[in-house]
Amino acid sequence: MRLHVASNCTGNVASLRALTRFCPSKPSPQSLHCNFELGPQSRHCQLSSSKGRRLCRTSLVGATRAAALATAGSPQLPQMLQTFLSPAALALTVFSAMAISAWTSVRRKAKVSEVTTQPTQFNKGVLSRCPTINSPYKPFPFLTNGHVETIFASKTRRSPPVTYERASFACPDGGTVHLDYHDLPSNIILPDDAPVLILLPGLTGGSHDSYVRHMVGAASMNGMRAVVFNSRGTSDGAVTSPQFYSASYTGDMRRVVQMVQKRYPSSELLAAGWSLGGNILVRYLGEEGASCPISAAASLCNPLDLAISDDNFHVGFNKIYDKNLARSLRTIFKKHSHLFKGLEDKYDLELANTCTSIRDFDDAITRRTFDWPTVDAYYYGSSSSHSIPNVRIPLLCIQAANDPIAPAKAIPRQALRDNPNCILVVTPYGGHLGWVSGPGAPLGAPWSTQAMVEWMSSVQLELLRSGRSKRMTQQLSSRAIGKVLHNDQQQDGVGSAAGNGSEPQFVDRK
């Protein structure tokens, strides 16, 4: 909207003087031509005088006040214009313009995720039942910057109510590992042979994190029992030996799988890991190869190449993440520093207590615990990118193109493309552990939760059809594949009978 007030109008000069009060540069009213441009893209006034042209910026509020004063003193302007320039009407106009801008921005920025895999019959069958992955990724308005999305999700995402049953076991080195089994709500009853999903949170994360809790809840609603593997010292777990965890050490993961197998001997085992948990998981899968007891797995926000990720930590705003994570590691260490007394010859305890970066902590404690000669050797040897060629089970890798912590340039695209067991999905946005998109946005479940549930359910069906299931057919939970079976029947009229008595019961407790 543009309001013209010229010196030759019949309005009083006082109105013109009032108008110029809100501008730092004040030409004489006798030679004044003032254009007020009000709108989301133009919030300034232009003043033209005989001496030249001056540009004066004012706030939207200041412009509104000035226009209102000019209107009040000019009887030549219609009453309808005065009403339109009222603060309430202008605020409504600005809000509507912002809403339209946000809507068009989402439509413009919606993109289909990059999916890289070999077009095997197995992979095509699995992906055909994953609508979230196949549909355009629609970022939430104004959350397309990787840093903004990462911080927004970390600070504002709500955690669903989830309760756990904690089980702990001792390790040969004297350490203790803590598992949190989902204590199912009273209206959900899963059979003893329902698939079990082992979850590995990120660095310093645990079962309390919102992204983990959302996945735990979604798993139970889709026929899977979830158990969270909390790394040593995380999620209030006691540390009982001078050994924490590392990106390379898979011994604890191996024991966790054994413990879960012992508790649920008839269940199909699945696994998913985020960030550093994803790196540990993929390394474990590569070490186990064809003998891996897990049937399928997913890796999310995995740094993959730790040397590249470490370099990335020291660039720009990423230093803030580095310092925050180092602070968390330092806090965990200080709580258990008494375990390291008398080990000054092996560890750099002073650096561990004062570290300001992850690299410092890894140099002081981690690489020395696991006998790496240097921190660079530790990063290179611990990168899960080297394990990709040895993975022999279905593996879904979900990364975000704008992840500031697990950068896209660290993705081993060729290795993932060459392995027929792997599917790489790179979303155009998402940040690190963000993915503020989908039905749960902006404060609920991340986009990745639904994507992972669909893939886990679909891969179970494809394992059953191809005869690759690691458990007997009748021991698969029909609830986990019920929805995709229904979709298959609608698409091609082909479906497998899954009525085997293993279906979970949803009980109304009202």
Residues labelled as active-site residues: 275, 403, 432
Compute the C-alpha angle 287/125/469, nearest 5°.
45
Q: Which helix (H) or strand (E) holds 396?
A: strand 395-400
Nearest-angstrom CA–CA distance, 473 and 476: 6
Write the secondary structure of 454-493 as one string of H (helix), E (strand) and C (coil): HHHHHHHHHHHHHCCCCCCHHHCCHHHHHHHHHHHHHHHC
Nearest-angstrom CA–CA distance, 54 and 328: 53
Q: Which helix (H) or strand (E) holds 165?
A: strand 164-170
> Identity (one letter) of the amino acid at 338?
H
- Which residues, in sequence order, are CB contacts of 358 under 8 Å at separation 6+? 203, 310, 313, 322, 325, 326, 329
- Cβ burial of 408 (10 Å; 0-12, 13-18, 19+) is middle
Q: How far is CA 336 from CA 234, 346, 349, in A?
A: 12, 16, 12
Nearest-angstrom CA–CA distance, 231 and 255: 12
Is residue 451 a contact partner of residue 133, using CB atoms and an 8 Å limit?
A: yes
H-state helical runs in 110-145: 121-127, 131-134
Nearest-angstrom CA–CA distance, 393 and 420: 9
| CB crowding 484-502: b at 16 or more within 10 Å, else e | bbebbeeeeeebeebeeeb
> Identity (one letter) of the amino acid at 83?
T
Cross-strand bridge partners of residue 400: 427
Instruction: Work out the angle between the directed axes of helices 60-72 and 13-20 (0-180°, nearest 10).
Output: 170
Nearest-angstrom CA–CA distance, 398 and 333: 31
Question: Around Cβ 467, how many Cβ atoms within 10 Å?
Answer: 7
Secondary-structure percent of the chain, ordered helix, strand, coil, rounded to 5 = 45, 15, 40
Which segments of 9-149 are extended strands (E)? 33-38, 43-49, 52-57, 111-112, 114-117, 136-137
